[in-house]
Structure 1
Amino acid sequence: MTTPDHQSPAPQPPVPTAQDRIYRSPMALAGGVLLLLVVGWLGFDALFQGHGRAPWLALAGMILAVPLVVAFTLRPAVFAGEDRLRIRNPFRVVSLPWGEVASLRSGYSNEVVAKSGAKYQLWSVPVSLRARKKAEARKARAASDAAHGGGPARRGFGGLGAFGAGAGAGDQSGPTRAETDQVMDELRELLDRRGEEESAQGEVTVRWAYEVVAPALAGAVLFAILLATG
């Protein structure tokens, strides 16, 4: 009597060779926490201290506001791995293998362009025109110093000690690229290095963030009903 062949275990997914780089906006995170504190303070005050319809309006407002605040401040992030780029925007999560990325563009916003022509904005990597201007000014000062054979120590009034030198060094010590532009440079480097790799091929997937849309929609409907029946 023959026995059935031993079945081999299902293949396991490959172990990542490196941890994903995560890019988020510190200003958005700080603003989101502050907004949540304000919404919670006002909402719970109206919920427990209000009279008549005020508690119900406060509840509906909180159900609507909290998911939206989280969506636009705490949620956005970019995860850059060796094989794919995952973009978590307020209402969608987009996963692009590097082989499907055509380019990464920076203008008034940072965005990734897929080979299909679709464009996806990087919400967690916002463009700061002010930071760009400061970086360009530092770059111009550095180029001017190099052209004249001088350096930070030559700044000030006739070399009046360390104060003049220190002030010049502080003006020039900053980066000559804005922080978000440096992030885009890192993503382009990953694209150039990994775009042709076999493990970085595949399909682009887009998933709607129903965990954000559903409660926000429920809050909006409840708020509209309360206003209509008032």
Structure 2
Amino acid sequence: MTDSDGTPDQGSAAPEQKYADRVQRSVPGIIAGVMLLAIAGWLIIDAVINGTGRTPWIALAAAPVFAFPVIAYTLRPAVLSNDRRLLVRNPLRTIDVPWASVEGLKAGYSVELFAGGKKYQVWAVPVSLRQRKRANRTAARAAASGDTTSSRWSVPAGRTARPGQSDPTRAWSDQVVSELQELADTNAANPLAAGEARVTWCWWIIAPTLVGLVALVALIAAT
């Protein structure tokens, strides 16, 4: 097909991203969240079925107060990246940053994103000091033995680094930060990666939690 000026039609998807979003998130956090929700669900259902008086209503009011924060802090956090932007899903906020606006990333005691003159915590990539120390010991042993292959980045291009999968001499959080910084440096000049950072609040987490909290306080005060 051709456009009206006779040039080949590139299609509407031509300027879009080169690859789908890469996703980084904490697997232990997800597992912990699922377990907490399962235990809380069992306790709440038991209270609703077997409770007397206001107990079933208190249990129902407590459900969103517990469930939504657990979802926010364990299941929701994620980091998505492509050739256009970096999207950070924190418990209560979403930070959408085009690569041109990324000023830097740092993994200290936590992973931090610097954009638009502000600093944002990246909840989805927790820093494990124990893992970092173990990686440093592995790197020291590799250096002492003259083994250079064990410290080589081994994740193929386009794939997400996973703990223990790629470079045993670097902690997972440090690997993720390096990968994201490389994407920022590579795509900063991309015209589609221009723009300012946008921050939005996660109201589907905040609103039900507040409503449940008000109902819970009212029910407890009425007893």
Structure 2 length as normaliser, TM-score? 0.84
Aligned length: 195
2: CA distance, partners of 1:103 / 1:79: 16
Query: Corresponding residue for 1:204?
Result: 197
**Corresponding residue SS for 1:45:** helix
Preserved CA contact (<8 Å) 2:107 2:173: no
**Corresponding residue SS for 1:202:** coil
**Corresponding residue SS for 2:112:** strand
Q: Which has the higher helix share?
A: 1
1: CA distance, partners of 2:220 / 2:59: 12
**Corresponding residue SS for 1:206:** strand
Unaligned 5+ runs, structure 2:
1-10, 148-165
The higher radius of gyration belongs to 1
1: CA distance, partners of 2:12 / 2:218: 50
Identity across the alignment (%)? 45
Match of 1:194 among 187, 191, 203: 187
Structure 1 length as normaliser, TM-score? 0.81
2: CA distance, partners of 1:86 / 1:60: 33
**Corresponding residue SS for 1:133:** helix
Query: Corresponding residue for 2:119?
Result: 119
Query: Corresponding residue for 2:63?
Result: 62
CA drift at 1:12 = 5.3
1: CA distance, partners of 2:141 / 2:18: 41
Match of 2:168 among 152, 161, 175: 175
Mapping of 1:1-230 within 5 angstroms?
Answer: 14-114=15-115, 116-146=116-146, 175-230=168-223
Task: Write the letter of the residue equivalent to 1:45.
Answer: D
Preserved CA contact (<8 Å) 1:92 1:206: yes
Unaligned 5+ runs, structure 1:
1-10, 148-172
Pair 1:182–1:174, CA change in 2 (3 A): closer
When the two chains are superposed, the root-mean-square deviation of aligned CA atoms in Å is 1.9
Deviations 1:52-100 (A, max 9, x none): 1110111111121111110000000000110100011111111000000
1: CA distance, partners of 2:36 / 2:122: 22
